[in-house]
Amino acid sequence: MTAQSAAAPLGIWLVRPEGDALAAALQARLGGDIYRPWLQPEVAQKTQFAASYRRHAQWIMVAASGIAVRFLDGLPVDKHTDPAVVVIDEAARHAVALLSGHEGGGNILAYRVANVVGATPVVTTATEALKPLTVGIGCRKGVPAERIEAAVVKALLAAGDYGMRDVREVATVDLKAQEPGLLAFCLQHDLPLRVFARATLAARPWVTTPSDWVQQNVGLNGVCEPCALVASPRGALLVPKMSLDGVAVAVVLDKWMEI
């Protein structure tokens, strides 16, 4: 057993005490061990990080990206074995998948971090960048993954020559962030889930078909269309809201694909 495989899965590295509250929020939802290197002022932080780098399969660094790059200097060896590293600023604005994004799970981790604190996930790997579709999903409570998959497949067929392979991310409202069926569907298809606060979606109230049920239960005119459009701000609605067995799906095509 390697040192990495025997270690806890996640490390959270702080560079300043000001990041403590953010780290605590992340740990409460994602688990992991928090590192406070200023408690050992006699050892440089970069040296401490290098000594800890292989203890975890994934890292969240609460720091500026420049600091993270300097700390990582000389440590990465191979994208298939390096720990994933996600960097988030102390203001929790952006969660950047910096290292081992695809192979190491850094991209998915960036979304998970972003969903916890309301940040924007930043993913730059080519595998994901070339996927043109964003799928917005709203669903009734307790809907199983199979029904969500059936609804998404139906919407993708309506979109034309597209499949699950073309979906970059799934988007939903915060009320559904922990919906078991939705989480299982995303996990089965290796799709990142992006979660938006209701207040964010309320700022874009237009939908093709307002829903009285959604208005009464969620406080919005709709979920799937605004979720997909907010997640892909350059995009255009390719498939308006389609409903199937308690699941509503909308598909947005990123407009950059037409350039």
How does pLDDT run across 207-240, given as a tens digit for each residue?
Answer: 898 888 888 888 898 999 999 999 999 999 999 9
User: Which tokens sit at 137?
Assistant: 């999903």
Do 140 and 239 reside in the same domain of the chain?
A: yes
Closest Cα partner for 44 from 69, 71, 64? 71
Domain-terminating residue out of 75, 103, 127: 127
Do 45 and 109 reside in the same domain of the chain?
A: yes
Do 123 and 213 reside in the same domain of the chain?
A: no
Do 253 and 150 reside in the same domain of the chain?
A: yes
Exposure letters 197-214 (e unless 16+ CB within 10 A, then b) = eeeebeebeebeeebeeb
Do 171 and 186 reside in the same domain of the chain?
A: yes
HSE on the CB side for 229, CA within 13 Å?
20
Q: What's the pTM value of the predicted model, to 2 decimals?
A: 0.89
User: Which tokens sit at 245?
Assistant: 């067995």
Average pLDDT over residues 2-17: 76
Residue 149 burial (CB < 10 Å; 0-12/13-18/19+)?
middle
SS3 track for 58-95: EEEEECCHHHHHHHHCCCCCCCCCCCEEEEECCCCCEE
Give the CA distances from residue 88 to residues 36, 55, 59, 99, in Å, rounded to whole numbers and listed in that order.
16, 20, 11, 13
For 109-134, write each residue's pLDDT tens digit: 999 999 999 999 999 988 888 999 99
pLDDT in the model for residue 61: 98
CATH number at residue 180: 3.30.420.180
Number of domains in the chain: 2
For the chain, the residue count is 259
pLDDT in the model for residue 152: 98
Do 122 and 145 reside in the same domain of the chain?
A: no
pLDDT in the model for residue 193: 97
Give the CA distances from residue 194 to residues 158, 186, 205, in Å, rounded to whole numbers and listed in that order.
23, 10, 19
Do 114 and 138 reside in the same domain of the chain?
A: no
Domain-terminating residue out of 127, 151, 167: 127
Q: pLDDT at residue 6 above 60?
A: no
CATH number at residue 93: 3.40.50.11220
Do 36 and 140 reside in the same domain of the chain?
A: no
Domain-terminating residue out of 63, 97, 127: 127
How many Å apart are CA 155 and CA 136, to the nearest integer?
10
Exposure letters 117-133 (e unless 16+ CB within 10 A, then b) = eebebbbeeeebeebbb
Do 223 and 119 reside in the same domain of the chain?
A: no
φ, ψ of residue 203 to 5 degrees: the values are -70, -15
For 128-187, write each residue's pLDDT tens digit: 889 999 999 999 999 999 999 999 999 999 999 899 999 999 999 999 999 999 999 999
Do 122 and 191 reside in the same domain of the chain?
A: no
Asked if 189 and 164 count as a contact pair (C-beta separation under 8 A), the reply is yes
Do 120 and 164 reside in the same domain of the chain?
A: no
Mean pLDDT for all residues in the chain: 92
pLDDT class of 7 with cuts at 50, 70, 90: low
How many Å apart are CA 226 and CA 117, to the nearest integer?
20
For 32-66, write each residue's pLDDT tens digit: 999 999 999 999 999 999 999 999 999 999 999 99
Torsion angle, CA of 144/150/152/153, rounded to 10 degrees? 150
Do 179 and 75 reside in the same domain of the chain?
A: no
Domain that residue 241 falls in: 132-258
Report CA Rg, the chain.
20
pLDDT class of 5 with cuts at 50, 70, 90: very low
